Amino acid sequence: MKQELDFQTLFEALPHLVLVLSTGPEFIMLAANEGRLRGANTRREDCIGRSVFEVFGRNPEERTEFGAGVLRASLERVVQTRTPDRMAITKYDFPRPAALN
C-alpha cells in the first residue's frame, strides 16, 4: 500500500523554527511553521506575503540597522552560492504578548 506524505504536517512538526523565503531582493515570507510564529510572537496572516525585513523591522531605539544588514548579506550569500551560510548572532526585537505588557 502506497502512502502519501503529508508535508504540511511534517513541516509543522519540525523541532526547529522554520521560515521559507523567496529569493531576493525582498525575501518575501512564503511559509513559517507554527513554532516559528510562536517564537516570534507573530501571526501567519501578518507575515506571509510580506518581506522578512518589513515583518522584522529594525528596533526604533537602535541607531543602526546592523541586524537587517547582516541578515540580508547572509541571505544574498545563500542565493549566490546555493549553500548554507552562518551569520553572526544578531539582536531582533519581537513584540511581547499583550498579557505581558
Lookup: cell for 50: 510580506
> Global pTM?
0.73
Q: Which residues contact 10 (CB under 8 A, 6 or more apart)?
A: none
Q: Is 60 exposed, middle or buried (0-12, 13-18, 19+ CB in 10 A)?
A: exposed
d(CA 93, CA 72): 17
Q: Is 29 exposed, middle or buried (0-12, 13-18, 19+ CB in 10 A)?
A: buried
Tens digits of residue pLDDT in 47-87: 899 998 888 766 666 666 667 788 888 999 999 999 999 88
